[in-house]
Each structure stands twice: as C-alpha cells, then as structure tokens.
Amino acid sequence: MNKYPHLFEPIQIGTQTVKNRVFMPPISTNLANKCYVTEELIQHYGARARGGVGLIVSEGVTVEPTYIYLPGDMSIHDDSFIPGWEKLCAEVHKYDTKILAQLFHPAYMAFPIPGTPQLIAPSHVGPYYAKSAPRPVTKEELKVLIRQFGEAALRVKTACGDGVEIHAAHAHGLLGGFLSPLYNKRCDEYGGDINGRLRLTLEVIEEVRRVCGRDFIVDVRISGDEYSDGGLNINDATYVAKQLEKAGVDMIHVSGGTTIKRGSSIPAPGTKMGTHSELAAHIKKRVNVPVATVGRITEAWIAEEMIANGMADACMIGRANLCEPEFANKAREGREHEIRPCIGCLRCLNGIMFGKRVACTINPSFELVNEDTLEPAAVKKNVLVVGGGVAGMEAAFVAKKRGHHVVLCEAAQELGGQARLAAVPIGKQDLTRVIQFMARRLYDNGVDVRLNTPVTQEMLENEMKKIADENLAELILTTGGTGFSMRDCMPEATIAVTERIVPGIPEAMRAYSMQFTKRAMLSRATAGIRKQTLILNLPGSPKAVRECLEYVISELGHGIEILTGEASNCARK
C-alpha cells in the first residue's frame, strides 16, 4: 500500500502532466566542462530520474557568455550547447521524468575569473564581500539580456526540454537583484516601487512565452520572504505571485531568504524541515497555479503532510535526492529504512563554492564508478575490519558488496563509534539515522558483525591468523581503533600486513598504527576507485613526521594528513 498517496499523485503543470510531486530543485554540481553538458552530468540527473523523481529543475544555466557563475556551471548561450542538452533530456525522459533548465544571469554575483569585465547589477550596490562595486546595467543592455533569455529558452525547447525555471529568488543574480529593494536602487522604470522592480522579470517571461509557446512550462522561483531588514516580505511576495500568474506562468517555486544572509535560503542542519513551507502555504491560497515549496524536506512523511494539508502542490526535495538518488522509489515502495539519510550538513554546497565538484558527506557515490556500480572483486579475500564506527561500517559494506568475506569487530556493545557521541548535541539528531542506516546495511548484506569483541593478540594468532600468513586476507584498522596497535598485537606480522595495505612503507612508518578516513575506506575496499586519503596517527618526532609525509607524497602520490601529538606539529598536504 502506498503510504504517501498525495506525494505520488500526478499533477498538471501548464499543459503537461508530471507523474508525481517529488520535484528536484536546482543544486550546483560543477560537473560541466566549460559550460557544456558532460557524461557525468547526464548520469547525475539520470540517476535521480531513474530514482523516481517526477520533475527535475537543473542547476543554474547561464544565458550569455560574459559572466560565469561557477567554474563548472552550465550554459546554453549558443546553439553549440544543444547536442549535450539533447542527450541530457533524452536520458531523463527514459524514466518519464520532466526536466526544466533554470535560466540564470549571475550579474553582480558572477565568478570573477581573470578577464571578466566589471560586474553588472541593478545599481551600484553589490554584496558585502565584493572588492569593488558593480555598475548599473543600462536599459539598452537589458533589451539584449531579455532577448538572450528568450533565445536560451528556445534552445532548451529545441533540445526537447520540458520548460524553464526563471530564477528571481534570494536577491540573487540579475532578476533576483532587480526584484529586491536590497540591491535595486534605480530611479527609472526598472526601479522604485515593486512594480518597477518586477518589470524586468515580467518582460523576460513575456519573451520566453513569445518564442516558446504555451506547451512549454514556465516556472518562476521567488523568495516568499527575504528574512532581511529592508528586503522583500510575504506581502511583497504575495503580490509578485499574483502578477506572475497574470503573466502566464505555469508554476511558482516559493523559496525564502537571500544568498548573502547565511542559512536563510539554504537552511542549516538542525533547523526545522519544510523551512519555507508557511510562505508557500500563504501564497498558494491566493493564486490558482501550482505552488512548490522547498527547504530541508528530507523525509517523505513531511512532504506528504505539506501536500495533504494544502500547504503546497509539490515539494522540491534537493539535498535528500542528492544524498539518495532512489529516494522517491524507496518511499513509494515503503522502503524508507533503505533511504540514505541527508543530515543537512551542506557539504554539497561548501565545495562547489570553491570550484570543487559536488560531494556528499553521507553518499560517496559521485563518480561514474562508485559505491552503487561496484563490480565483484577478481579475487575473493577474508577481510577483518577493526572498529564499527562510520569508517569501519563503510569499509565493511563495500568490501562485502565486492564479494569478500567480511568480519567486523567492535569493542563496544553497539555500532556507531564517535558518531553516537556526535549525535548528542541539539540539532544533531539526524546522525542517529546515519548510524541506523549503515548498521542495517551490514546485517542485510550478511557482514559478520561481532559486538563486544575487542581485537586481541590471541584472536589474531588463532581465529584471525590468516591475516598474517595468507595473501588472501586483509586488515582494515579504522579511526575508532585508537587503542589498537598492530605492533603490539602482532609484532612479527605487522610489516607483512601493512605492506599489503601500502606497499613499500618505510621503516619509520611501520611502528605506527594506521588509520583511515571514510573516503580512504571506500578507495581501499574498491581497489583504487578514488585516490586514497590516509590519516596516520604519528605520535613521534617532527622529523619522523616529515619523513613519512615526504615518502607518501613522493612515492605513493596519496593525499595525506599527518597528526603528531602536539597541535603545533600538525602538517597537512
């Protein structure tokens, strides 16, 4: 029986029918290559479509070439981008999922790469971190930009996209900046009161509709409240929503906050789910087009409640779909316990702001070859994992998935390690769900989990002796095993074992216990899918630390963090 009948009910958006109300909002990935669609982008969005999402709104897609939002963002400013978009749309459509491109001009929030001209804005006002003020965009330039929005939308339609989202929220970029009194200080027809500030967005909508017709979804994203003194409030947003409906939009995506006021538009961990839902509910009562809500909707039950209670017509579920591509399918099939839980940590945001590819603390599967696409190991081994914290559980799961026989030993009476302690503070409750999820995977996949089982010399010499004298065995010591020393437990076998983990390890390094991060566990267990990052606990002298550091970097090419006993002696590469 479907526990979420409202969430998985079809919905009409304009002239098109979407199969359910689990929508995915724009989340930057930095997976594009010089603004072009890549195979990784296709697989990324394809995985969410295959996972059951009804409608996907892509990350921001720029409409002209001069101003770049992020180093790896997407664009569709000329026809050369159409073939890539055709492939992307075809992949998503294989699963009966709709896809909209979020059209965006970064304006005064563009990435200042060398050669970029002075940034443009509604007026001479820019974000607090800007090194210099932007210049006001001219009315002649606005005419060109309006045309470019229309041309970009037409290319999306040519590529078989289902529509576009016009980004006018968060006081962000060109349209969001024009709409917000925080940035728009103009005194011409594009400034002043709310009608003047809204004018540019309405003219963009008119142009998009003119060139693309009625059978093309036009969605507009707005902030229901900017949560800032002097910014837009719910009364402003309600009026804006009514004008958007009159302009012929098919859906209104109600968010909140600004990109400058930290935590307002993208809520932090520990904040309430459905952060902006009350804004959406207020607006929904006053318009007749579908209204979508967004903001920390990480579980299916809260999405069902908001739709059933009339607060929204659809839920934009972003980070939860990033963390668990099969979120929708698992919820619909009653397999919620198998959903990889999003903890709202914003790791997915932090890296991309510095030009790095998207990543997730809980889901390591952001490569084409990943945890979800592992192939069986050519040689099956006996693997002993010492420590049942997050790193140990991940290592044990991946090793088991590759076909190895895995024994995980945990000295405590429960799995979780330090994550259990980390879940205690206020706002950290979601970490308990991570422990539950990871532990359940071990039992479901047949890992031999042994609680209340400290690894001793006697165990290694007897039951676990294969680790020392057989090539078909591996030992993985995780960060939780701080009291475990391979030298103390198995002095004769230590060198043999560690050399199979890191071949050619020098004498200076053999005396120390080796510890691994979660990512290292994944890379080790998957035989080099990712570049290893080792964390070595080295209580020795700075000279020994330097020797180990220089060896690992020069000979092995691994990323490494070496910690000595004193903070002043820490070295990071």
Asked if pLDDT for residue 355 goes beyond 70, the answer is yes
Asked if pLDDT for residue 516 goes beyond 70, the answer is no
- Tell me the three state secondary structure of residue 13: strand
CA distance linking residue 104 with residue 26, whole number of Å: 11
pLDDT score, position 369: 65
pLDDT tens-digit readout, 72-87: 999 999 999 999 999 9
Counting residues of the chain whose pLDDT is more than 70, the rounded percentage is: 80
CA distance linking residue 551 with residue 545, whole number of Å: 10
Asked if pLDDT for residue 498 goes beyond 90, the answer is no
**What is the crossing angle of helices 234-246 and 277-284, to 10°?**
50
| 267 vs 422 pLDDT, higher one | 422
Which structure tokens are listed for 542? 């700075």
Window from 329-338, 376-385, 386-395, 515-524 with minimum mean pLDDT: 515-524
Count CB-CB contacts under 10 A for residue 292: 26
pLDDT score, position 514: 34
pLDDT score, position 480: 57
Contact indicator for 480, 391 with CB cutoff of 8 Å: yes
Q: For 306-325, what is the mean pLDDT?
A: 97
Name the residue type at position 85: W
Asked if pLDDT for residue 371 goes beyond 90, the answer is no
> Can you say whether residue 417 is alpha, beta or left, with left for phi > 0 and alpha for psi between -120 and 50 degrees?
left
CA distance linking residue 417 with residue 395, whole number of Å: 14
Mean pLDDT (the chain) is 84
Local confidence band at 479 (pLDDT 50, 70, 90 cut-offs):
low
Q: For 445-449, what is the mean pLDDT?
A: 96
Helix ranges, 402-429 (H): 418-422
Asked if pLDDT for residue 343 goes beyond 90, the answer is yes
pLDDT score, position 384: 87
Window from 98-112, 374-388, 464-478 with minimum mean pLDDT: 464-478
Q: For 396-421, what is the mean pLDDT?
A: 93
pLDDT score, position 227: 95
pLDDT score, position 419: 93
CA distance linking residue 293 with residue 56, whole number of Å: 14
pLDDT score, position 554: 45
CA distance linking residue 476 with residue 391, whole number of Å: 10
Asked if pLDDT for residue 510 goes beyond 70, the answer is no
Contact indicator for 429, 269 with CB cutoff of 8 Å: no
Asked if pLDDT for residue 174 goes beyond 70, the answer is yes
pLDDT score, position 415: 96
pTM of the model: 0.84
Local confidence band at 515 (pLDDT 50, 70, 90 cut-offs):
very low
* Sheet of strand 448-450, all strands in order from the earlier edge strand to the far edge: 448-450, 405-409, 382-386, 473-477
pLDDT score, position 467: 54
Local confidence band at 560 (pLDDT 50, 70, 90 cut-offs):
very low
pLDDT score, position 500: 36
Which structure tokens are listed for 450? 């042994």
Asked if pLDDT for residue 42 goes beyond 70, the answer is yes
pLDDT score, position 485: 46
CA distance linking residue 327 with residue 272, whole number of Å: 20
Q: For 293-319, what is the mean pLDDT?
A: 97
CA distance linking residue 185 with residue 199, whole number of Å: 14
Q: How far is CA 316 from CA 20, 83, 293, 400, 496, in A?
A: 11, 27, 6, 35, 52
